Amino acid sequence: MNSRTIYSRFREVVSDRPEAPAIIEDDRTLSYAQLDGLADRIMARFYAAKPEFIGIVMSHGAEQIAAMLAVLKSGAG
């Protein structure tokens, strides 16, 4: 059985290929490093607000994916 988490697998890809495209959305492309940075900035807001629960309600897109990664990274998921 594989005990790796989604976020640990994401971190492996960030380490192995930081400049590879992670998200291609309309006219913009985010690399894995950029997506990880965006997730870190969102996670910092979680820590600043100290919420008991974290819910994500937003339009589909890069920011939504980054928010999901931030929740996983923070251990709240």
Please name which of 4, 69, 76 lies closest in space to residue 37, comparing C-alpha atoms: 69
pLDDT digits (tens, 9 = 90+) for 30-53: 999 999 999 999 989 887 777 677
Q: What range does the domain containing 69 cover?
A: 6-74
Please name which of 77, 35, 37 lies closest in space to residue 55, comparing C-alpha atoms: 77
In a domain, 1, yes or no: no
Calculate mean pLDDT across residues 12-41.
96
Phi, psi of 28 (to 5 degrees): -130, 150
The predicted pLDDT at position 34 comes to 98
DSSP per-residue string spanning 16-58: H-TTSEEEEETTEEEEHHHHHHHHHHHHHHHHHH--SS-----
Calculate mean pLDDT across residues 65-75.
88
In a domain, 21, yes or no: yes
Mean pLDDT, all residues of the chain = 87
In a domain, 51, yes or no: yes
Number of structural domains the chain divides into? 1
Please name which of 36, 30, 42 lies closest in space to residue 7, comparing C-alpha atoms: 36
